[in-house]
Structure 1
């Protein structure tokens, strides 16, 4: 089965020495690279530009994959670029990766450095391992590489430490998923499946759609479902949070204006809208300078828009 090497490329606005330091120093490298939990360089024993290292990756459930590698660096005096080659492998029988090799390349531009990598590896477990790698592991590994590159970019360009970037990413996606689920639930369950439970009476009390309250309620539910789906796609855009805030204000304000007795209920529109508005604010605040694997070029020769 033919393998497709993993390729990631990204322009970073920094100087060569700083980028080299942040990628060639183990203590800094392990902070931004999601593929590794720890990296330890071993004392030099042979060539001056060659380093052996140990790496470890946590895969959950208390399991860890460990392996060894060797990296060799070289300078290209004429063009001012640099190259770091890499060979790695693991002897652990439950490691999918048996051994692999690749490189990091540093190309200087007028105001940035093009940092790119290309690597490939051989898997264990025969045909089953090859299919698992092709369908799941390799795409995930490539995505983790690209996301790591953008985490590094934010560290160098915006001075946002990797731990902060990853924490903000986790918070942002948690808010996105919760908000989307709430919009989908509110649009589907009380408005389409069980309107008689209370939503229909609220719509009737508003007297805005006489004789068509049930149809209007379904259209409102469809709009909420659509908003939940749009959020999953455009969660990095500011307008989606402004749209949600406007929707929440209109829904809660309209319901309470025509049926103020709803405030007496333990779970009323005000409580739900306030909680969702809070999630909107958190999602909006964490959407700025969020690392994104899509910022990277994933095919050699591809132009980034």
Structure 2
């Protein structure tokens, strides 16, 4: 069975031109999009689609790169905007061989519905298809949604992408420490006996307190300044179709 194409949608309370600039300018795009380390436009002749190069650093000494071609429609009769792209990577370590996708910008009251849909073909045959279905595709879906929320925080609250990443790492660290302390605290019953008459009630309450701490660490919603994939819509509310603009682009 063919895997489901990836979809992410968020609502950003920002001006349409501001959102367009933050997503279409490579220098700004790579700041908030977790999927890319580098994005740069390549030289082009007048009238040709924009070609670009992208790269993702998997390890300090390993970078996977690819190329793509993109086109955008800034003035559509219904007031929306669209951007479409095709991309491919010849790198043998890139599970993603080639793919295509689009961005849509739909004005909505005091904000913009910003959504994407994309799909790709994995390489490495059946092992690659299995790795994609079980690990890579869910990871890509999460990274897209997390990045969309980081973009929203930047444009709505002025929290820079760099600061948002630090907020996320700090919150993850606190949650991990709380869980680790709670798990290690399960073996404190022998020490409680040193408290004499207070040992019995404390020994009874300790598991409850530790379990409560673990539940809070695992399930408490992220802080408002911390990006979270859960805030984005991951399933299209209605059946969506790729824009016709996508059919005009050739695979790079």
Is 2:199 the counterpart of 1:199? no
Residue 74 of structure 2 aligns to a residue in which SS? strand
Q: Deviations over 1:163-193 (max 9, x none)?
A: 000011101110111122112211x1112xx
Tell me if the contact between 1:200 and 1:217 (Cα under 8 Å) persists in the aligned partners. no
Structure 1 window deviating more from structure 2 (10-19 vs 228-237): it is 228-237
The structure in which a higher percent of residues are helix is 1
Q: State the shift of 1:15 in Å.
A: 0.9
Structure number with the bigger relative contact order (C-alpha 8 A, sep ≥ 6) is 2
Tell me if the contact between 1:184 and 1:228 (Cα under 8 Å) persists in the aligned partners. no
Q: Which residue of 2 aligns with 1:190?
A: 188
Is 2:26 the counterpart of 1:7? no
TM-score by length of 1: 0.74
Residue 193 of structure 2 aligns to a residue in which SS? helix
Q: State the shift of 1:61 in Å.
A: 5.2
Aligned partners of 2:174 and 2:120: how far apart in 1? 36
Tell me if the contact between 2:178 and 2:217 (Cα under 8 Å) persists in the aligned partners. no
Aligned partners of 2:57 and 2:68: how far apart in 1? 17
Tell me if the contact between 1:176 and 1:235 (Cα under 8 Å) persists in the aligned partners. no
Structure 1 runs of 4+ with >4 Å offset: none
Aligned partners of 1:59 and 1:208: how far apart in 2? 53
TM-score by length of 2: 0.89
Tell me if the contact between 2:192 and 2:203 (Cα under 8 Å) persists in the aligned partners. no
Structure 1 window deviating more from structure 2 (76-85 vs 109-118): it is 76-85
Tell me if the contact between 1:31 and 1:163 (Cα under 8 Å) persists in the aligned partners. yes
Q: Deviations over 1:247-289 (max 9, x none)?
A: xxxxxxxxxxxxxxxxxxxxxxxxxxxxxxxxxxxxxxxx342
Q: Which residue of 2 aligns with 1:30?
A: 30
Q: Which residue of 1 aligns with 2:220?
A: 235
Q: How many residues align?
A: 238
Q: State the shift of 1:58 in Å.
A: 0.9
Aligned partners of 2:44 and 2:14: how far apart in 1? 29
